[in-house]
Amino acid sequence: MNVHDVSLVMRPGMPTWPGEDGPKITPLRRIASGDTANVSVVTFSDHTGTHVDPPVHFIEGAGTVDHLPVDALVGPCRVVGFDGPGHISAAWLERAGVPASTERLLFKTRNSERWREPVRPFDRDFVALDRTAARWCVDRRMKLVGIDYLSIEPQGPEKEGYPTHKTLLGAKIVIIEGLDLKDVLPGEYDLACGAIKFEGGDGAPARVFLIER
């Protein structure tokens, strides 16, 4: 069995959304100092690295991360490769040959090559899903959608009102952002997404695995 870990390594200096600090790992106890065990205190935004967005991230009063359905986070998954210009659209998805039975869809784009430089600064020029692609996913009753950078929403004028996030989250589709798909080929996998279960959380870092069939 071949298992791909498509999660980013949580490290100080990693790319983060502007205004959000990267992980800080502070020693609390150390064996070298005479303590019985090594223990650290870790602080970070709940949208750091590979993470999930629950509905409450963009919809006040909606579902939180501790109530995400497990049957969305685990199950068959398709990775599709996008190498076109601009952002992913419904028109492109119609041509992509996604089987009608697909419930979990991950997008591998040129974004993934950025992860070969793990401390490369954040760059707003990334590929995302436009509002038509989000509606396409809703119309096909997707349970989960993932992208290989820190937001599934295009930057610039397209993001006014955040239609991609609100369309997907309004339909209770789980979003995974920050996937590292650089060494994964498009195709069929089994997905296992272990999001941290923060009570009332508006997001959570996740360890994500793709298992080859």
| Residues with active-site annotation | 57
141: exposed, middle or buried (Cβ count in 10 Å: 0-12, 13-18, 19+): exposed
| H helix and E strand count, the chain | 4, 10
Q: Which residue has the tokens 């990775």?
A: 79
CA distance 196 to 120: 25
Burial of 57-88, coded b for 16+ CB within 10 Å and e otherwise, reads bbeeeebbbeebeeebbbeebbbbbbeeeebb
Other CB atoms within 10 A of residue 37 CB: 8
Beta strands, E only, the chain: 3-5, 24-29, 39-43, 51-53, 74-81, 104-108, 144-147, 174-177, 187-195, 204-212
